Each structure stands twice: as C-alpha cells, then as structure tokens.
C-alpha cells in the first residue's frame, strides 16, 4: 500500500513536516511539525502548524500519531499544539532518555524533570511495528546525528529518514551534537540504503544549492549513485574522516538552545516561574 503524503516546508528552519494518510476521511500521522519561534523577541507562533491543521481538517483526517524523528536542534516542535487542536499521540524513539539525561545536566533543569521519556505519549523501540489506520509502519533506530534518531517505514515502499541522509547534492546530517557519532551514522545510513533501490526516501530537511528548489524526496538508488558523502564505494573510515573534519567547521544552529530545551519535553515549554512567565536558559561556555 502506498500512503498519500503531503509535505510542508518551513523556510526558517528548512524543515519538511509531513501528513501521511491512506485516504481523505481516514487516520493520519503528522511527522516533525514546526512551531514558529522568533529568537529576537522570544515569541512563539503557529503559522506553520496552522497550515498542517487546515490540511488535516479539510481532508477530514483523524490524527493518530504525531511522530518526531528526533529531538530537533533547529526548530521547536508544534506537536503539543497540534495535539491540543486535533488529538493524536506524540511519539519518539526511546533513545530520547539518553538525550534528556545529557541536556538535563547542560541546562541544570528542575530536579523533578523526568529522564524516562514519559513526557511523550509513546516511545518506539528499534523495529517496533505500528499502524496508521490500515497502513502498516515500522520504527527503525538510526542513531548517529543524535542517539534518539528514528526513521519510519510507512507502507511498502516509503521511508521517512529523519536527520540521516539529505539530498544527494547536500549529503548527510552532522554528528557533533552531544551523543552524536559518525561511525553510528554511517551504519544507520547503510541500513537505510539496504532497502530496495526504488524505495522513496522522505527527508527532514533540504538545503538546496543555488539554482535548485527544495525537494522532499529522493530514492535509495539515487542516494547510492550520487550522495556526495555516502554513495556506493565510500568506506566507513572515509566517511568518518570527512564528517568529523566538516563538523569542526560548522557553527551551532541558531535555535539549538531553545529547541533542545523544548523538544526534550515533547515540545512543551518549560514550566512558568512565579511571575507566570516561562523562560529559556543559555548556558555560558558550556557546549
């Protein structure tokens, strides 16, 4: 069964969000939604998420899942807002516990911040099957970019790869965040590229070079033929050498601090202080 897929591109973070469904009037999953955030004013917004809400309502879809491929470092998740508007269960990989542990220490979070992932409605194990209505799906643990990264096989021929592969002319996700590991990413990508050549791969981001428009999908065959970082013939050691050298030159993402603090809470904002205002922290000289 081939699912229907609607992509929504967020220009500010170059993120693709997706609605995946069998047919109008049926169940759906929303993957990697984005909450608008202006770091200059500290204001959040729902313009991007409202586009998704409008699509879901106009196709009379029932939200079954709000899937997160990982705790994103470049945007805040809109999953709790969408759940409040449309229902559904927020799910991520069980590796989120490791990410929570690292960042509870980095941000010196409140003592009762839980490290068991229970802020999410569901934690996926590697290989765990699930359903979106009648569409069979499976969660795959694909660590490397972060310890919690998941990919989702949905239907027979469609793979949502999260932050592992980008378009062939862009390459692969960075591995220098806490808990990242280029060796692991190479092995995770090898697992994805072992799917049949015509498997459709849906990306979490695109950063198109001059002259190309952003594109949400590619195939296993295209990646194996021409991915600048991991096409066929590039060894694990060559990849790790390239990735490590390149990561050392990359600045931290603009929204890393706000995004991680919110996303390890399943997208909820931090608790309000005694004046009723919620605050984000910036640890100095820490990361």
List of residues contacting Fe ion (CB under 5 A):
72, 163
Q: How near is the Cβ of 153 to Fe ion at its closest, in Å?
A: 19
Count other C-beta atoms under 10 Å from residue 38's C-beta: 10
Judged by CB, which is closer to Fe ion: 53, or 75?
75
Q: How near is the Cβ of 1 to Fe ion at its closest, in Å?
A: 29
Q: Say if CB 266 and CB 79 are below 8 A apart.
A: yes
Q: Which residue is nearest to Fe ion (CB)?
A: 163
Judged by CB, which is closer to Fe ion: 109, or 259?
259
Torsion of CA 34, 40, 41, 42, to 10 degrees: 50
Judged by CB, which is closer to Fe ion: 63, or 150?
150
Judged by CB, which is closer to Fe ion: 67, or 86?
67
How far is the CA of 254 from the CAs of 12, 47, 95, 209, in angstroms? 11, 20, 24, 20
Q: How near is the Cβ of 74 to Fe ion at its closest, in Å?
A: 6
Judged by CB, which is closer to Fe ion: 163, or 181?
163
How many CA atoms does the CB half-sphere of 57 hold within 13 Å? 10
Vertex 155 angle, CA 154 and 158, to 5°: 60
Q: How near is the Cβ of 133 to Fe ion at its closest, in Å?
A: 28
Closest alpha carbon to 240 in 184, 195, 178: 184
- Could you please report the per-residue DSSP string of 270-287? PPB-TTS-B-----TT--
Q: Say if CB 209 and CB 200 are below 8 A apart.
A: no
Judged by CB, which is closer to Fe ion: 21, or 166?
166
């Amino acid at each position: 069964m081939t699912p229907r897929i609607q992509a929504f591109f967020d220009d500010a973070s170059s993120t693709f969000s997706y609605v995946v469904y069998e047919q109008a009037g049926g169940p759906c999953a929303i993957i990697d939604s984005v909450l608008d955030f202006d770091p200059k004013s500290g204001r959040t917004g729902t313009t991007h998420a409202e586009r998704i809400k409008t699509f879901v309502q106009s196709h009379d879809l029932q939200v079954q899942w709000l899937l997160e491929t990982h705790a994103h470092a470049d945007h805040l998740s809109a999953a709790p807002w969408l759940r409040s508007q449309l229902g559904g269960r927020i799910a991520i990989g069980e590796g989120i516990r490791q990410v929570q542990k690292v960042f509870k220490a980095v941000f010196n979070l409140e003592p009762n911040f839980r490290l068991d992932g229970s802020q999410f409605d569901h934690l996926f194990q590697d290989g765990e099957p699930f359903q979106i209505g009648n569409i069979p799906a499976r969660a795959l643990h694909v660590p490397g970019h972060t310890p919690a990264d998941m990919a989702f096989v949905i239907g027979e021929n469609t793979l949502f790869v999260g932050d592992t592969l980008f378009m062939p002319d862009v390459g692969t996700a960075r591995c220098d965040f806490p808990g990242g590991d280029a060796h692991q990413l190479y092995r995770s990508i090898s697992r994805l590229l072992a799917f049949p050549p015509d498997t459709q791969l849906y990306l979490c981001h695109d950063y198109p070079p001059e002259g190309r428009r952003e594109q949400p999908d590619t195939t296993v065959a295209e990646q194996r033929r021409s991915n600048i970082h991991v096409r066929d013939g590039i060894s694990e050691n060559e990849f790790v050498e390239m990735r490590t050298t390149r990561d050392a030159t990359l600045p931290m993402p603009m929204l890393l601090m706000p995004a991680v603090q919110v996303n390890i809470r399943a997208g909820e904002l931090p608790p309000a202080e005694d004046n009723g205002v919620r605050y984000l922290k910036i640890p100095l000289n820490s990361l």
